[in-house]
Structure 1
């Protein structure tokens, strides 16, 4: 196939953003190196991808519709695909055409529309008539990779929702890019989150827990775009709990470096699991366990910091005292049986978790662990 395409187009200027509104045939999309989809890789911290995983079932559904429409000639796909390049495209204002030299400007990044493109490719494999099917396309030029990521976030949070875990990753990357790279103007709610940097900080906790093979959370957290069959809770939920209960002003651990905070938090969970066990199936490693022990950790750390020791061997006996001091309906919270799947912990709602946390804080105040000092 020829690696040059000439298409009629209208130029659209939105501030410093230049767009070309045009159409492309499905055959154009099949040109070698025409486009790429920057998929977010949860295991690569240097990765620059931002797209969610492709849902093949969704793409196939579109493909079946397009193929069926070839006979009746009523296949209809009016929504524009959004492509972007960090290079310029030749535009002829005399006849309103663009000339795309794929060898020079390709591959285009698919900012929005990967499922439509994949569905059309699948349809073309089934019926060659689809190669001549045209789709509306908006092409942004001179758009840096980080700007493309921002536009993906804007499109998918102002018009339709993006998977929360992917959104958290993008927020974290934008926080890291502040004062280093040029970032386009963002909606206020996105900008505020990026400036606060809570997603980035919370993800550091979650990444540490999930990759620490010496800790109880090793490989138990399903990261964004990661199909982890061993996971018991997803990144989205864990990050949300850490943002809400751990990254708070009264957390005494903020005086320490982030690395030390992560290690202390991991030791906290090691002590919990030393007492309650790690055998599956256990609700301890699901939402209710995460929510309760993230909620309880700051009062616990405020007690622990007076001892001045964050080793597992110090944390565990203090936790044991807390569990032993528990009374009433939830006195069993410190026993393995309480957390077995199908047991009492499985049916806790947010109100019950709040009650347990309150009772645990009361039990914490009754404890009196003093660190032994070698003389």
Structure 2
């Protein structure tokens, strides 16, 4: 493969700007999907979105549609090192501006950072109208230094969490995972704890259909119109004590070990909150909401504090303190608090600081009169 590109440098980052046809990009690139690739950080293709692009693409030849926005690709520096040659021209263009790049044919040289749906949609349309395989596409190629793939995460997150308003929760997971894969330096044990906390939160939010936390945790930054009742930052911070408890005695920090701990932690948290739901069922409400034509099933009510900062911290602290789930269940089920006590403006209002969380725990642990009378004194 031979391409001519404009080379620019931002800081230490080399950037190639060029035009590649659809066939070249499609045959020589891949998208890193979370869970399918150890470096994955993107979601699988949205078939509906892909089909919509394909329909639009079929009108390009008639001049009814264009795709001017650049496809953004990543390529390893080792792949292009010693393969970039400066072009010397006689028409006033600096030889430092234009370069020739020679790459082996038939290899997956590029990673799609932005544009996977456009490429997939255009390729689907090209199966019908073969002329589209030669469609020229503006292409920006980031030349990624060794062990610095985290740059791709930063670019993907910047694009999708601001301009496009897409979910970027997997970037949080991938960013921590890249530490374990040697792509960026480990900044202390705190990052391992953060990875487990975020991974457990992700499992509760997306992978456990019966969880009261399904679609309840807000992972995106700066998006007002989003699903969820509590942000990932306060939620993951609240469960860090449980993470540290799970890490006790663990010295093997391989990715599969940490993922196993995150899975077990998510299951334990889910079991605990099933007990919480059975006690204060009116605080939870299964319903479906729609945002940008996408359906979300939720199990929370935003006018209750139980799944907000106060409830999450108090419940987590109690779970941390007990030796097993049976003791936790007894504390919750014997509480004199009612669902109405959790309602907005009610008894739990304003308990949002460290001292407030302690007060909330005291209120939860206070037993109803009938329970207190039937429970033998510890003295």
Unaligned runs of at least 5 residues, structure 2: 89-98, 220-226, 248-260, 288-297
How far the C-alpha of 1:61 sits from its partner, in A, is 2.5
User: What is the match of residue 91 of structure 2?
Assistant: none
Shift of 1:124: 1.2
Asked if the contact 1:11–1:21 (Cα under 8 Å) also holds between the matched residues in 2, the reply is: yes
CA RMSD of aligned residues (A): 4.7
Using a 3 Å threshold, how does the CA distance of structure 1 residues 51 and 195 change in structure 2: closer, same or farther? same
Instruction: Give the match for residue 99 of structure 1.
Output: 102
CA distance in 2: counterparts of 1:47 and 1:222, whole angstroms: 29
Distance 2:236 2:2 in 1: 55
Given the alignment, which residue of 168, 171, 174 partners 1:167?
Answer: 171
Post-superposition Cα deviations, 1:47-69, rounded to whole Å, max 9, x if no partner, equal 32111232233233333223213
- Residue in 2 that maps onto 1:140: 142
How many equivalent residue pairs? Answer: 317
Unmatched runs of 5 consecutive residues or more in structure 1: 184-191, 212-216, 224-230, 334-347
Q: How far apart are residue 24 of structure 1 and its match? A: 1.0
* C-alpha distance after superposition, 1:253-309 (max 9, x if no partner): 6873446977874563354356568xx9858x713399615633544566787xx64
Does structure 1 residue 203 correspond to structure 2 residue 198? yes
Does 1:268 pair with 2:272?
Answer: yes
- 1:8 touches 1:22 (CA, 8 Å); kept in 2? yes
The structural deviation recorded for 1:140 is 2.2
CA drift of 1:134 comes to 0.6
Q: Equivalent residues in 2 for 1:165-244 (5 A)?
A: 165-174=169-178, 180-182=182-184, 200-206=195-201, 219-220=209-210, 233=216, 236=219, 240=230, 243-244=233-234
In structure 1, C-alpha distance between the alignment counterparts of 2:275 and 2:156, rounded to whole Å: 41
More helix by share: 1
Partner secondary structure for residue 50 of structure 1: coil
Match of 1:60 among 40, 47, 51: 51
Distance of 1:112 and 1:82 partners within structure 2: 5
1:83-162 alignment to 2 at 5 Å?
A: 83-86=73-76, 87-89=78-80, 90-94=83-87, 96-103=99-106, 106-144=108-146, 145-157=149-161, 159-162=163-166
Structure 1 Cα separation of the partners of residues 313 and 11 of structure 2: 46
CA distance in 1: counterparts of 2:45 and 2:170, whole angstroms = 13
Once the two structures are TM-superposed, the CA of residue 93 in structure 1 deviates from its matched residue by: 1.5
Taking a change above 3 Å as real, the CA distance of residues 315 and 110 of structure 1, as seen in their structure-2 partners, is: same
Q: Is the 8 A contact 1:82 1:138 kept in 2?
A: yes
Residue 13 in 1 paired to residue 9 in 2? yes
Q: Is the 8 A contact 1:264 1:310 kept in 2?
A: no
Q: Calculate the TM-score normalised by the size of structure 2.
A: 0.64
Are the counterparts in 1 of residues 212 and 300 from structure 2 also a CA contact under 8 Å? no
C-alpha contact (below 8 Å) 1:83/1:110 kept by paired residues: yes
Work out whether residues 270 and 312 of structure 1, in 8 Å CA contact, stay in contact via their aligned partners in 2.
Answer: no
Partner of 1:296: 311
Listed as ranges, the matches of 1:301-340 within 5 Å are 309-322=322-335, 324-326=336-338, 330=340
User: What residue in structure 1 maps to residue 71 of structure 2?
Assistant: 81
**Shift of residue 110, structure 1, vs aligned partner:** 0.5
Give 1:343's aligned residue. none
